[in-house]
Amino acid sequence: MTNLLEVQGASKRFGSFTALDNVSIAVPKGSIFGLLGPNGAGKTTLIRIINQITLPDEGKVFLDNEPLKKEHIQDIGYLPEERGLYKSMKVGEQALYLAQLKGLSKKEAKDRLKYWFDKFEISHWWDKKIQELSKGMAQKVQFIVTVLHRPKLLIFDEPFSGFDPINANVIKDEILQLREEGATVIFSTHRMESVEELCDHIALINKSKKILEGEVSDIKRKYKSNTFEVGLLAESENGLYDELKEKFQVVPADFKTIEEQLKLKITLDQSTSSNDLLGYLSTKAQILRFNEVIPSVNEIFIKTISENE
Amino acid sequence: MNNLKLIIQREFIARVRNRTFVVMTFLSPLIFVGMIALITWLATLNNEEVRQIAFFDETGMFTSDFKNSDNVTYINYSDLSLNDAKDSVVIKKLYGLLYIPKKGTNKELASSVQFYADDAPNISILNGIEDIIASKLTNQNFEEKGLDLNVIENSRARVNILIENFSGEKTSKMTNYVKMFFGGAAGYFLMMFIIIYGNMVMRSVIEEKANRIIEIIISSVKPLQLMMGKILGTSFAGILQFLIWVLLGSVLLFIATSVFGIEAQTPTGIDPSIALQEDHQEEIQLLLQDILKLPLGTLVMAFFVYFVGGYFLYSSIYAAIGAAVDSETDSQQFMLPIILPLMLGIYVGFFSVVENPHGTVSTVFSMIPLTSPIVMLMRIPFGVNWWEVLISILLLFGSIIFMVWLAGKIYRVGILMYGKKPSYKELYKWLKY
């Protein structure tokens, strides 16, 4: 799989403050790439470098194997976290203006806007001023303007903030649809559940350095610790607990059940397989639950960050 | 380039559609003409008032000298006692009471005449009275010394210096006033335009920052392009407004003059009592010649060049300030570097240039880019060497390039900075980002 975007060793300093320190990422074509990191880690600076808003002090950026140049602006659609629209301008005029700035002709922009406005059922907003719309409504217009020129690369910074669950879902489906149509998506957010749901690749940035990057499934495989969550029904729960503790690495677990049971997390060493554990447990108790613990992106996020502190 | 056009268009339309712009454009000429009409009307009202002045003349010498004029009538109260005269003036609400006491000598008399009035009396009326008394006393003094009044009158010389330049063309003494008027008007207008439209540029920058649309825009266009688009778009709106004003103003003035019967006034400064009637006409002719003889072509050209240059120089500073702050209230601390040179330009223009248009102060300030648009415009009617103008223009446009570059750097960083109240030190740091 080829990479649509490659950032190589990008650094950016503001005075004595280093916003970005030798960061490299590779975004595969057609992927949804999650750019994660705590507040102030340097995500926005990286995104601004990709958008040519800020120039890096060091490092190179390649889009489609070409060094980033001015014309690439038309290949990128960017929805910033800090976003707004002209308050006193009409919705339609405004969308036309922004689309034309991205290089669309007036007619083309009008046709495409009509399509999107119909799709989102907001055609009657055309002559309204932004100040008459709610925040969520304005966000829809911003989303349309971001994707209107059919860019190869879409960058969304917290795209779901300000949307109610229904509209957030509409936007999510649109993002997936755009990916189907061939766009690559970079997705910066704090909402881990949407990362879990959408992203196939992630990069984690902390304190201006990249500390993790890769395919989500690979990372999860790397971070899983051969741990299993079990729910057991035994006659003497305490006795069983002590017995297991001698054989395996065991900690009490907590999950929701309707019946009383012994809830444990059992971590196996490399020589023991899950079948071994299952076989052993089946002789001791009735197994109500048995599943492998796969770390969530959220857990990986917290773990990696605290390891790097 | 195409984007620049789009930005200019948007800025222009945004300015022109603004309600304040529409109101200002169409109301200002009305207000302006209304003010002129009001002032003229008030002035005529004032002049029509006939003031009644009572005089109490103990000497009896002046009775026949106080002649009624258009705006003053004199009433002789010399038959009453002084106190009765005072009471009577108060009761009848006359303008005042002139008291001429009897004194031994004319010298003593001259310094003991008194005028009683509740309000501070009009200076020109007092001057008139003083003249009457003074000439009477002077003539008496002459007679006492045995001089013949007729001889004195005939031997009095009236001097009116005619001014010619070395190529033999006559000019009027008004020339300097005419030059001052044209230069001053141009300089003053330039200053107003810079302040009004520079502020608009600044507000437009702040608006984009406050609306948070800025990051969306600059992911499509370069910040410098956006800044230039703003400055240009706003200036076109300003030029449109100016053209409408000129058009409306002349129409309204025409209507006003025909309706209110206000005569177009010849510039002040001619003292009608000195110039005789035929001299007066000649003066006006010379005056018109003077206006035509001004380097009008040069003036118009220079006005355009300095107008554009000055506006660009200052509005790029305004744009940088707009980018540095979050709201208009925060911008106050940065206003000084704009207002100070503008004010300085105006003051140097009205004091130094008028006094000595080619002196060191005037010359230096007509070279310094921040003041040159105003000061040079004021100097040009007095005739300035072409190379001086050239140097000044080169310096101005050089510093525009520098200032736009500087402002662009601050702008680029500032538009993405929120929640910081920047100091000059902070701005300096931004230059290096």
> Each residue of A250-277: pLDDT tens digit?
888 888 888 788 888 888 888 888 888 8
Q: Which of B3, B211, B219 sits opposite A84 (nearest CB)?
A: B211
Q: Identify all chain B residues contacting A48, using CB atoms and an 8 Å cutoff.
A: 416
Answer yes or no: is pLDDT of B173 > 70.
Answer: no
Residue pair A148/A112 in contact (Cβ under 8 Å)? The answer is: yes
Distance CA A42, CA B432 (A): 19
**Percent of all residues in chain B with a pLDDT value above 90, rounded to a whole number:** 11
**Which pLDDT belongs to residue A258?**
81
| pLDDT score, position B170 | 59
Query: For chain A, which residues score pLDDT lower than 50?
Result: none
Interface test with A, best of B6, B215, B222, B429 (most A CBs within 10 A): B215
Say what the pLDDT of residue B172 is: 58
A76 touches chain B (CB under 8 A): yes
In this structure, of A219-228, A251-260, B243-252, B290-299, the range with the lowest mean pLDDT score is: B290-299
CB atoms within 10 A of CB A121: 9
CB B137 within 8 A of CB B106: yes
CB B218 within 8 A of CB B226: yes
pLDDT at position B28 is 77
ipTM of the complex: 0.79
In this structure, which long-range contacts are made by residues A244-252, counting pairs with CB atoms below 8 Å and at least 24 apart in sequence? A244/A284, A247/A280, A248/A272, A248/A277
Cβ within 8 Å, pair B215-A80: yes
Would you state the structure tokens that stand for residue B275, as one six-digit string? Answer: 């110039």
* Least Cα separation, residue A298 to chain B (angstroms): 29
pTM passes above 0.90: no
Structure-block tokens of residue B197: 């439209």
* Two structure tokens written together for A207: 């304190």
Residue B7 pLDDT > 90: yes
Put simply, the answer to whether B213 touches A14 (Cβ < 8 Å) is no
Query: Would you call B207 and A86 a contact, using CB atoms and an 8 Å cutoff?
Result: yes
Q: Which 98-117 residues of chain A touch chain B by CB within 8 A?
A: 98, 100-102
Is B14 in Cβ contact with A88 (below 8 Å)?
A: yes
Evaluate whether B172 touches B97 at the Cβ level (below 8 Å): no
A53/B207 CB distance under 8 A: no
Query: Scanning every residue of chain A, which has its alpha carbon at the shortest distance from the alpha carbon of B427?
Result: A15
Cβ separation of B216 and A76 shorter than 8 Å?
A: no
How close, in Å, is residue B9 to chain A by CA atoms?
10
Domains present along chain B, CATH in parentheses: 49-156 (3.40.190.10), 175-260+282-430 (no CATH)
Interface check for B216 against chain A (CB to CB < 8 A): the answer is yes
DSSP B272-317: TTTS-HHHHHHHHHHHHHHHHHS-HHHHHHHHHHHHHHHHHHHHHH
Please check the confidence at residue B269 and state whether its pLDDT lies above 50. Answer: no
For testing contact with chain B, the best of A82, A94, A148 (most B CBs within 10 A): A82
Q: Which of B227, B221, B391 is nearest to B323 (CA)?
A: B227
Per the prediction, chain B carries an average pLDDT of 81
Q: What's the pLDDT at B267?
A: 44
Ordered domains of chain A (ranges, CATH): 3-86+147-220 (3.40.50.300), 225-293 (3.30.70)
Radius of gyration of the CA atoms of chain A, in A: 24
